[in-house]
Amino acid sequence: MKLSQVRELLNAVVLTGENHLDDEVFAGFGCDLMSDVLCYAKEGAVLLTGLSNKQVLNTAEIANMNSIVFVRNKVPNNEILELAREMDILMMTTKLILFESCGILYKYGLKGANLS
Amino acid sequence: MSYELVFDVKRGDFDKAGEASRKIKHTLQQLGVSNRIIRKISIAGYEGEMNLAIHSLGGKIILAVGEKKLTLTIEDVGPGIPDIKLAMTEGFSTAGDEVRSMGFGAGMGLTNMVKNADAFEITSEINEGTKIVMNFFIQ
């Protein structure tokens, strides 16, 4: 699924990394626990989370996940937005809750990270 | 090819926590280390870095680059872990609400380090400090 389709399906607003909207993501991982993201998430998956602090961005970068969707209308502060531009990470925000966001993407074919 | 990089990590400095691990990742990318190994060492390093910021009185992360292996040492100056076996139990944590609100402190840190390192050793002395040595073999 292209990130542009993720944006459309979630009616999300792009905050940084517009240049990556044509990139493909093959899986999604919805989580507010960053250690579990580091432990389980597939490389290249889109991260959906309700946390919007700097550690989310660090986690995405360390785990090689280049796109983040903030749910429940969260928007990180300017310092984090600036850092995301430096790291070249696409960030978007949606009004939907985590459950609905994941459900919609799953319904349209995006798979979850495999725990095994 | 053999050298060391040392990063200081301060207690409670959650604004900076993560920077050392990102620098380690970028250094290894420049050295041409495979992505698979970079991801393992970056994740283990980041968990260690967060642990230093959360639990220690301050410490260091040392990356030693050798020909056949990369060694990541995480050491602090205290307070030491009273029961290492308990601390290594997945889900056990003494972290407070501030840390949990950042998405950490769920008792996964040491587990994640063990999972990603090819060899893992931990030693700890009360009032002296904790030392973790992780080796990652380059194939």
Sequence ranges of the domains in chain B: 3-137
Q: State in Å, rounded, how far the first CA of chain A is from the last one.
A: 23
Q: What is the 3-state secondary structure of A14-67?
A: EEECHHHCCCECCEEEECCCHHHHHHHCCCCCEEEECCCCHHHHHHHHHCCCCE
CATH code that applies to domain A3-111: 3.40.1390.20
pLDDT digits (tens, 9 = 90+) for B74-117: 999 999 999 999 999 999 999 999 999 999 999 999 999 999 99
pLDDT digits (tens, 9 = 90+) for A6-55: 999 999 999 999 999 999 999 999 999 999 999 998 889 999 999 999 99
**pLDDT value at residue A42:** 87
Q: Is B103 in Cβ contact with A35 (below 8 Å)?
A: yes
Query: What is the predicted ipTM?
Result: 0.91
Which residues of A fall within a CB distance of 8 Å from B18? Answer: 54-55, 58, 62
**pLDDT value at residue B81:** 97
Closest Cα in chain A, distance from residue B51 (Å): 11
The band of A113, judged by pLDDT with boundaries at 50, 70 and 90, is: confident
B116 Cβ contact list (under 8 Å, min separation 6): B40, B41, B43, B44, B134
* Closest-CA residue of chain B to A87: B22
The band of B1, judged by pLDDT with boundaries at 50, 70 and 90, is: low
Between CA B11 and CA A14 the distance in angstroms is 34
Which residues of A fall within a CB distance of 8 Å from B109? Answer: 35
Contact B75, B9 (CB under 8 A): no
pTM over 0.90: yes
pLDDT digits (tens, 9 = 90+) for B9-63: 999 999 999 999 999 999 999 999 999 999 999 999 999 999 999 999 999 999 9
Domain coordinates in residue numbering, chain A:
3-111
CATH class label, B3-137: alpha beta
* Dihedrals phi, psi of B63, to nearest 5 degrees: -105, 120
